[in-house]
Chains A and B, each alone.
Chain A
């Protein structure tokens, strides 16, 4: 696991939601504050995306401590939760994304043998 510095996370949180384009992956990461789990999850996600989806993904990080209302839409209970909004169907991956293989399976980037 590669340690992530706080600065980069903060920056991403503030980023505007990406415009949806064809063949673009829209990912949403729900977290509650900057807990160690949240930071780990973000770092893991970033790493996977860079490796697998270079250039064709956008990550929206939603902090439920700031916007508790936003959790209802995606029925968020567990944190952190990664939601694949696009391409459909919607997929949910819970946990800190440390199990890369399972994340890839969850995102449909890897077929289960």
Chain B
């Protein structure tokens, strides 16, 4: 069960249509699919006390990117 949940989901036309219609479950699947891309942009590089570069995830940034991405998914309807 855990394995299924953590697999990167595949795209299908049905999934895209449900997501563009605003179905919550489909949107969650898409967010899971592009989680790595979103996290990459929500990661901030900082220097620690010893001057070493560290990467930290900023949840606020991640949430904002996710929110805007959900809004952008709905625009896809016009392109089909």
A and B form one complex? no
